[in-house]
Amino acid sequence: MILARVGNIELGDGHGLVLIAGPCVIESEDLCLEVGRRAREITSELGIPYIFKASFDKANRTSVKSFRGPGIEKGLEILASVKASLGVPVLTDIHEPWHTKLAAEVVDVLQIPAFLCRQTDLILAAAETGKCVNIKKAQFLAPWDMSNSVEKARSTGNENILLTERGSSFGYNMLVVDMCSLPAMRGLGCPVVFDATHSVQRPGGLGSASGGAREFIPHLIKAGVAVGVDALFLEVHPDPPNALCDAASMLSLADLAGALADAKAIESALNWK
């Protein structure tokens, strides 16, 4: 398997589980630092490499009234502060080709949101920066269809690509995870990430906001690690019910240590590392 590299972190090819985690959206610098510090403490104790994530803009929201974030200028300023304060790599979403150069000056991973994973110009612009590119599989695509997105990114000469599973559409307001998609996407020659938080989302399920069933996040974490993934992607918040984005599908910061301890135990038992 071709390895992906994020700073001094290597993903894939038996290098062990990596955590990508943080709040859904940048609500404040203090929140990002609170979540990032605690996640760094937990992962350091467990021997899991850690990448912080947060979005400066959530362009795909159910309602026009939904909180989107501080925007690219202020958001990147906060992400730069988090990166410097915590000493960890940083990931963020991009939505427009012009975002890529600005974001690449700060972050280590450029993430293509699921609904945009077929947007050729966006993928090409992200890959041309030379940064690691995490492409989320759309809810409407089969895992093997992601070969086209990978080919677009690789056409730039960039082989530093991650693929993320985040659930598939299953009727109205429901997502399900086909665990077979994880090895299927690994077969495309990229390390695979499992987003166990967006996978419990219920898009538009609350009418003007997405719903979710966060109580199932720990179960999906265990299942994904048991199948075999290179990284877990978790949206984490100290007070999920009052989060400004994806409140129903974020893991409580208080539950992160237990969830990761279980994941590490499963990885060790199955000798994935």
| Domain annotation for the chain: domains and CATH numbers | 4-270 (3.20.20.70)
pLDDT of residue 165: 98
pLDDT of residue 2: 56
pLDDT of residue 61: 72
**CB contact at 8 A, 162 and 192:** yes
For strand 132-136 and strand 109-112, is the pairing parallel, antiparallel, or unpaired?
A: parallel
pLDDT of residue 67: 85
- Each residue's pLDDT, cut to its tens digit, for the chain (273 residues) gives 558 999 999 999 889 999 999 999 999 999 999 999 999 999 999 999 999 999 999 888 777 888 899 999 999 999 999 999 999 999 999 999 999 999 999 999 999 999 999 999 999 999 999 999 999 999 999 999 999 999 999 999 999 999 999 999 998 888 999 999 999 999 999 999 999 999 999 887 677 677 778 999 999 999 999 999 999 999 999 999 999 988 889 999 999 999 999 999 999 999 865
Residues 173 and 175: their CA atoms lie apart, in Å, by 7
The answer to whether the pTM exceeds 0.85 is: yes
pLDDT of residue 71: 96
Number of Cβ atoms within 10 Å of the Cβ of 109:
26
Write phi, then psi, for 86 (nearest 5 degrees).
-95, -20
**CB contact at 8 A, 26 and 34:** no
Residues 240 and 248: their CA atoms lie apart, in Å, by 7
Angle among Cα 79, 102, 36 to the nearest 5 degrees reads: 15
pLDDT of residue 205: 63
pLDDT of residue 109: 98
Q: How far is CA 186 from the centre of its chain?
A: 16
Q: 17 in helix, strand or coil?
A: coil
